[in-house]
Amino acid sequence: MRRDVFQAIADPTRRAILVLIASKAMTPNAIAEHFDSSRQAVSKHLRILSECELVKQEQQGREIYYQLQVDKMKQIDKWLDQFRKIWEGRFNELDNVLSKLKKE
């Protein structure tokens, strides 16, 4: 089953995992220590994030480390940018209205 990136980041636990590994690669056990769920549940989240190419695995000796795939996150940011421009335009309009009301 091919998963959608936005389906993957819709889950709060998966978003928390992305934040957790954004600064450094971590093993599944180290990631699981930050959650009240089982190691198996965290592994399922990591599998979904891997399928969506939001994280990648790197074998170091006997350990597997998960790290953030920055390029995939940039794709999400690019998609969100269209909304950011709309919001900024609306905030600018609101600033103009508030400035006019202050002057009156």
Q: What whole-number percentage of the chain has pLDDT above 70?
A: 98
Q: Mark whether 28 and 64 lie in a shared domain.
A: yes
Per residue in 35-77, pLDDT tens?
998 999 999 999 999 999 999 999 999 999 999 998 888 888 8
Q: Mark whether 46 and 76 lie in a shared domain.
A: no
Q: What CATH number is attached to the domain comprising 11?
A: 1.10.10.10
Q: Mark whether 20 and 38 lie in a shared domain.
A: yes
pTM: 0.77
Q: Which domain holds residue 77?
A: 70-104
Here the tokens at position 87 are 């919001």
> Which of 3-7, 67-71, 99-103 holds the top average pLDDT?
67-71
- SS (HEC) of 47-99: HHHHHCCCEEEEEECCEEEEEECHHHHHHHHHHHHHHHHHHHHHHHHHHHHHH
The reported pLDDT for the residue numbered 64 is 95
Query: How many separate domains does the chain show?
Result: 2
